[in-house]
Structure 1
Amino acid sequence: MLAPTNPDTTAPQPDNAHVPEAVRLTPLRHRLSTRIILLSFASLMVVLGMISGTLYLSWKLEGAGAAINDAGSLRMRANRVAIELTRAQSGSPNDLAGQVAALDTTLAQLRRGNPARPLFLPDEPAIQAKLDLVVTDWQQRLKPLAVATASTTPATAYIDALPVFVNEADSLVKLIERDNASKTDLLRLSQASLAIIACVGTVAVIYLLYLWIILPVLRLQDGLQRMAAREFSLRLPIATRDEFGTLNAGFNRMADELQELYQDLAARVDSKTAELARQNRDLEALYDMTAFLNRASDAEAMARGFLERVMRQFEADGGTVRVIDAAHGKLHRLASVGLSDALAENSRCSAIHDCHCGAAAEAGMITVADLRQFVRQGSETQESPCGREGFRGMAAFRLDSPRGTLGTFTLHFRNPRELPPSDRQLLQTLARHLGTALEHLRLAASARQLAVVEERNLVAQGLHDSIAQGLNFLNLQVQLLGDAVERNDNAETREIVPLLRHGVEESYQDVRELLHNFRSRLTTGDMRPAVEDTVARFRRQCRTDARLTIEGSGPPLQPEQQLQVLFILQEALSNVRKHAMAEHVTISLTQGRDFQLVVQDDGEGFDPSEFDGQDSAHVGLHIMQERASRLGATLTIDARPGAGVRVALSLPRGETMPHPDELLAAQESSQ
């Protein structure tokens, strides 16, 4: 089993402890390879010794076997000598000398041995003594009888002495066989021992290899698996100083580093997770606040909703939004939540330099963790108004906008509280959002006011240049009518009455046209029907022939652009009806890459050099010029006396209506 252990206390320190870990090596005498080589060499020596012993015994047995053959041949050769001796006495051909020489040679080989065959007698004394008896008996008794018998002695003497020699030779053979049998048993014992040693050695080698290699590898494998399962407290025992001991020490060092890294990583992951959670909350708060500020249309409701959301986000007990009155150095309450009316309207809180809220307008941010301090005023020290209200902490932030500082908003806490930097940054961001939203409300109100002023200006111009002139004409005719009535001048009266009727009809038509223009509303894509209705109404109002052509399939203009174009067309046709005395008028509208409107008549025209802005005949041209300027288009008027008038409006497709902020800035710069 593997247990967490300390590698520094399990094994002695290596001899090269002063060497850096990256280059430290296992000493040669402690290496696993050294032990394996020594074990292999010892096994080889044992095996080679056993094999050499068996080979030596086999060689001895082979030599003894040859000696048994030669010793056994002594009897045969002694009998052949007797046979050859008998032939020699009978006078028959014989090989007596050859047989005697062969027997001498055999005895000499038995005594000397012959390694080449191999042939040699065992080194036993009894065998050597028996060989000496056999050689002596042959040399001293049988061989002389054989030689003497060949000449004078009868063969019977040799034959009578032969059995003793044969018995001695048999005894020698038996001794050799007995020794050979013992060596054969020894060979078999050696072979059995070799087999036993091989088995035991194999088991021993396997066991040692298991202890030296397999078991450390299994421990290391189990350690790696447990390390993969994040059991970083695991330590491997260092029981040896070989390569596996070094490897286990390295594993333990790796485990130490991984444990430290994992603990640090876990702490960092927890920190990052908390940071991401906080950032997600901040993003949700910013998104919710931005959506709310974009929906709100009233400054007080916007400020109150802002406070409610911020107080809920930061667990505040009260809050207020104040706007700056730079002219009087005051802070006026716009909205408050969780504060009493007395505190919200406190005179000290309304002075910029007498409270923390005012200081935040200059410093950008003021946070007080504990309001149980005192605020010095003159020679007296008084408790903070917020402190008297029961609040012990506060945080004030400046409301900034692109045009400057608008005011401050403040959070009040009934318990002392220190805001972390992340919360302060979020509150500052929310303050900028509120300041920008309040500024947008102000700009939108100013833009709406400017639009109303401009429309009123156009209405006033229209009334002055059309109805007012007509009423002035009617007033003059009424005065003339009164004078004629006083003089009883019926002829002049009859002349004035039609003029009055005509003037009233013209004024009525002007009023209807103005009302129709004011009520005109367009959406994207409604340009063509509105133009056709305008031209049709012109045809009904006068006898002038009007021709309308609409060409192109470009994208439609914006609704506000369409409305201004329609007003310009109505004004141009109104001028044709009132002043041109034309028989024909052509209206051409082209929606291609650029938008173009052309109104051309064949009326009386006028001299552009005599153009005067105060001329009632040309007031409509002023109105068209102003609308074209609002549209961002170019209005060209070509006129010649007796040759009619050509009014051309050109609007590049990339142009858009000016933003209300631009109109407001233009108005402020002009003022």
Structure 2
Amino acid sequence: MQDISGPSAGFSESVTDQGLYKLPALRVLSEIATSLSTNVDIERLLERFLSTMVRLAGAGAGAVRVLTADGTGLRLIGSIGLPEEMLEQERIVPLGCGVCGQAVHDSAARSTEAVHLCKNNSGLEFFGDHCVSFVAVPLQHKGHVLGVYNLFMFADAPPIPEEVRLLFSSISEHLGMALENVRLTQENMRISLMNERQMLSNEIHDSLAQTLAYMNIRLEMLKESVHTGDKQFTEKYLGDMEDALESAYSGLRELLTQFHHRMDPRGLVPALQDLLAGACKKTEARVDFTNHTHGLNLTPDQEVQVFHIVQEALANICKHSRAHNIHLNIEQVDDAYRFTITDDGIGLCAAGHPGPGMHFGINIMHGRAKQLGGSVEITSQAGAGTRLTLMFPSQPPRKRDNT
């Protein structure tokens, strides 16, 4: 077995004009860099560059494998020139198998002519009859191997030039970085999904679950009043349950609306601009947006909480306020952010008290503000509009360490 990661190990020095390989090498690296900057299927990308690896090495066949999810094996994702029986038998090979395992263990490219060992292990006539040597080039990032290219050399194959060896090293690093980026992206997506589910669970618990618990208590009291023939309390408890049912139904609609309308991936400010544009279309009111901060420095979680608070406030304005003017103002006061939403509508309490659905939305806004470490304050007068002020620290609150 040869280590081909060092200078000229296992390679020919007969190529005097090494500049012959420089232009293809630059083209390959440029193509890889371009591919990494676009949203591509990483397995298709690795398979596509397999043909480049085979061609540059002068190999008769090739394969590309990636680490399995449990990290115990290498899974075949692409091949060139390999017999069908080999593809079936080696769809997944153990991580420590032969030269591939050695390359993974050492995080370095390896080559060998001892193909009889592979023939003994697999029973495949391909080794020896066709393949007389092969190379394993690991795909790695920061010393962590994430996959491997196998290049199978036939009897008439020339030695691999030095420039190609160096190119393989660069390709390995670039594609290894791409694999790592995909892994991190998938991990972040899983975390985001779990956080979103937890958020939904919390909101259901803090709103619908409490309303249903209240209805259950009232139901027992209703049964008792019916049993005793108390008509006055029977009517009261029926009214309470009707109000609670309306509140639960409105709350469910609000939750569904919030989770159907996702925040703009460009960030909070574009998302708020879209919300205000939507409010303008729904109410035909004049909408103003003023941002006095020099770039909001919020975490993704903070952005989501603020977005949904403003969304709920605007929904209430559109449904109930009959406003002609709506204004959103953002400013930084010392170490806190202040979001103020004002309208010149009929006022929150113009009809006596907010309805159950509005109560539900206000409760959710308070809950979101609490998660931000801040507060929501609502002031309103009949005929004089409503002002909602959200204030929270510019730095996210630290989570308690329970250990």
Distance in 2 of aligned mates of 1:394 and 1:341: 18
1:427 is aligned to: 168
2:229 is aligned to: 488
Q: Is 1:567 the equivalent of 2:308?
A: yes
Q: With structure 2 as the length reference, what TM-score do the two structures score?
A: 0.67
Letter matched to residue 493 of structure 1: T
Shift of 1:534: 6.5
Structure 1 counterpart of 2:135, from 371, 392, 395? 395
Secondary structure of residue in 2 paired with 1:461: helix
Kept after mapping to 2: 8 A contact 1:322/1:331:
yes
Structure 1 counterpart of 2:246, from 496, 505, 517? 505
Shift of the 483–494 alpha-carbon distance from structure 1 to 2, 3 Å rule, reads: same
Distance in 2 of aligned mates of 1:432 and 1:489: 80
Shift of the 349–567 alpha-carbon distance from structure 1 to 2, 3 Å rule, reads: closer
Structure 2 counterpart of 1:438, from 176, 179, 190? 179
Letter matched to residue 590 of structure 1: I
1:648 is aligned to: 391
- Which stretches in structure 1 are left out of the alignment for 5+ residues? 1-269, 540-547, 576-585, 604-616, 629-634, 656-665
1:636 is aligned to: 374
Kept after mapping to 2: 8 A contact 1:361/1:408:
yes
Tell me the number of residue pairs that the alignment of Structure 1 and Structure 2 aligns.
Answer: 343
Distance in 2 of aligned mates of 1:549 and 1:535: 10
Secondary structure of residue in 2 paired with 1:590: strand
Distance in 1 of aligned mates of 2:188 and 2:259: 19
1:597 is aligned to: 339
Q: Is 1:334 the equivalent of 2:77?
A: yes
1:290 is aligned to: 33
Structure 2 counterpart of 1:623, from 347, 350, 368? 368
Secondary structure of residue in 1 paired with 2:145: strand
Structure whose residues are more often strand by fraction: 2
Letter matched to residue 272 of structure 2: M
1:228 is aligned to: none
2:117 is aligned to: 375
Kept after mapping to 1: 8 A contact 2:67/2:147:
yes
Deviations 1:97-151 (A, max 9, x none): xxxxxxxxxxxxxxxxxxxxxxxxxxxxxxxxxxxxxxxxxxxxxxxxxxxxxxx
- The structure with higher relative contact order (CA 8 Å, sep 6+) is 2
Q: Aligned-pair RMSD on alpha carbons? A: 4.8
Letter matched to residue 367 of structure 1: S
Distance in 2 of aligned mates of 1:395 and 1:332: 17
Letter matched to residue 153 of structure 2: F
Q: Tell which deviates more after alignment, 555-564 or 428-437.
A: 555-564
Shift of 1:402: 3.3
Distance in 1 of aligned mates of 2:370 and 2:142: 33
Structure 2 counterpart of 1:316, from 34, 39, 59? 59
Q: Percent identity?
A: 20
2:11 is aligned to: none
Aligned 1:135-146 pairs, distance under 5 A: none
Shift of 1:375: 2.8
Shift of 1:396: 0.6
Q: Is 1:406 the equivalent of 2:150?
A: no
2:22 is aligned to: 279
2:290 is aligned to: 551
Shift of 1:365: 1.0
Distance in 1 of aligned mates of 2:254 and 2:364: 16
Distance in 1 of aligned mates of 2:315 and 2:207: 10
Distance in 2 of aligned mates of 1:394 and 1:423: 15
Shift of the 558–388 alpha-carbon distance from structure 1 to 2, 3 Å rule, reads: farther
1:530 is aligned to: 275
Q: Is 1:475 the equivalent of 2:216?
A: yes
2:353 is aligned to: none
Shift of 1:284: 0.2
Shift of 1:527: 2.3
Distance in 1 of aligned mates of 2:256 and 2:143: 39
- Which stretches in structure 2 are left out of the alignment for 5+ residues? 1-14, 317-325, 349-361, 378-386
Distance in 1 of aligned mates of 2:34 and 2:245: 55
Distance in 2 of aligned mates of 1:534 and 1:493: 42
Deviations 1:523-578 (A, max 9, x none): 664524624767999x9xxxxxxxx9743466776997765432133467899xxx
Secondary structure of residue in 2 paired with 1:303: helix
Kept after mapping to 1: 8 A contact 2:135/2:152:
yes
Secondary structure of residue in 2 paired with 1:511: helix
Secondary structure of residue in 2 paired with 1:392: strand
Q: With structure 1 as the length reference, what TM-score do the two structures score?
A: 0.43
Distance in 1 of aligned mates of 2:99 and 2:243: 73
2:260 is aligned to: 519
Kept after mapping to 2: 8 A contact 1:293/1:437:
yes
Distance in 2 of aligned mates of 1:552 and 1:441: 36
Deviations 1:505-532 (A, max 9, x none): 2112212222222233436645246247
Distance in 1 of aligned mates of 2:274 and 2:43: 43
Distance in 2 of aligned mates of 1:382 and 1:489: 86
Kept after mapping to 1: 8 A contact 2:75/2:91:
no
Structure whose residues are more often helix by fraction: 1
Shift of the 323–494 alpha-carbon distance from structure 1 to 2, 3 Å rule, reads: same
Shift of the 587–625 alpha-carbon distance from structure 1 to 2, 3 Å rule, reads: farther
Shift of the 382–401 alpha-carbon distance from structure 1 to 2, 3 Å rule, reads: closer
Kept after mapping to 2: 8 A contact 1:552/1:592:
no
Kept after mapping to 2: 8 A contact 1:323/1:333:
yes
1:343 is aligned to: 86
Letter matched to residue 494 of structure 1: E
Shift of 1:645: 9.7
Kept after mapping to 1: 8 A contact 2:366/2:376:
no
Secondary structure of residue in 2 paired with 1:350: strand
Shift of 1:430: 0.9
Shift of the 384–296 alpha-carbon distance from structure 1 to 2, 3 Å rule, reads: farther
